[in-house]
Amino acid sequence: MNDPDDFAGKVALVTGGSTGIGRAVVERLEAGGASVVFCGAEPGAASERERVTGVVADVRSAADMRALADLAVSRYGGLDAVVTCAGVQRYGTVEDTTEELWDEVLDINLKGVYLTCQAAVPRLRERGGGSIVVVSSVQAFASQTRVAAYATSKAALNGLVRSMALDHAADGIRVNAVCPGSVDTPMLRWAADLWKGDRTQEELLAEWGRSHPLGRVARPAEVAEMVAFLAGERSSFITGAEHRVDGGLLAQVPVVLPE
């Protein structure tokens, strides 16, 4: 059972916190007692409630990310944990992916994490250290077809995580990656609508779920639990690591023995 106060007195920053995995992370950290500043790209991201402040911000903007980190410090007194959840999925091979699409995916998924951490690391250092958790993907390890830009961005994120973990270990800052399989988020449902053909969205989601040995897609809250573990003090000797939350997806090879 989770400690209901495992983040009491802590301050967290979450990008992409208005939807999907990011929203579940905000809710989990808030439930654990943290004060949270999060951002989202859509106008509805702006919100405020006790111990949680949401703002509209662009992770591709260095100024926006500095303002977000500064907001966490000015409003709640410091910064202890950073979780980068902002990301987009786009489809295409290297042949048919336009330069504009490539730049969009790499700018949001990869550059956005770099800019967030660039703004946040000095603030974490001021508190004597902390934790950075980067939401990556199983596609950092194994790719499906037609995701050249997306898979590249996620593989690069895992390299960035290792680099930051080494560079900032002496500052007491731990850096880890969480690599989910398919998760029932608006982004996955957008993809299901794109590829469902004559099927319903639910039918295609169920089919994708069956590709995971556990037989279903994940719930965002299940990924948020791994994020919370890595963001908090229970993982105090873990850094530079990649943690799969994939229902066994990467444990298998696509060879089925005959009955």
3-state SS, 24-70, equals HHHHHHHHCCCEEEEEECCHHHCEEECCEEEEECCCCCHHHHHHHHH
Q: Is the pLDDT of residue 122 over 70?
A: yes
How far apart are alpha carbons 25 and 14 in whole angstroms? 8
> What residues pair up with 37 in beta bridges, in sequence order?
13, 53
**Is residue 25 pLDDT above 90, yes or no?**
yes
Type of residue found at 72? A
**95 has pLDDT over 70:** yes
Catalytic positions, please?
150
The domains of the chain are located at: 11-181+218-244
Q: Does pLDDT of 3 surpass 70? A: no
Residues 86 and 99: their CA atoms lie apart, in Å, by 21
Classify burial at 50, counting beta carbons within 10 Å of its beta carbon; exposed 0-12, middle 13-18, buried 19 or more.
exposed
Rounded Cα–Cα distance for residues 116 and 59 (Å): 7
Residue 225 corresponds to which amino acid? E
* Residue 186 to residues 23, 89, 220, 223, 241, Cα–Cα distance (Å): 11, 11, 10, 15, 27
Residue 124 has pLDDT above 70, yes or no: yes
Kindly report, residue by residue over 141-188, the tens digit of the pLDDT: 999 999 999 999 999 999 999 999 999 999 999 999 999 999 999 899
Q: Distance between CA atoms of 194 and 3, rounded to whole angstroms?
A: 40
Enter the pTM of the model.
0.96
Q: What would be the CATH architecture of the domain defined by 11-181+218-244?
A: 3-Layer(aba) Sandwich (3.40)
Looking at the chain, the whole-number percentage of residues with pLDDT higher than 70 is 98
**pLDDT surpassing 50 at residue 1:** no
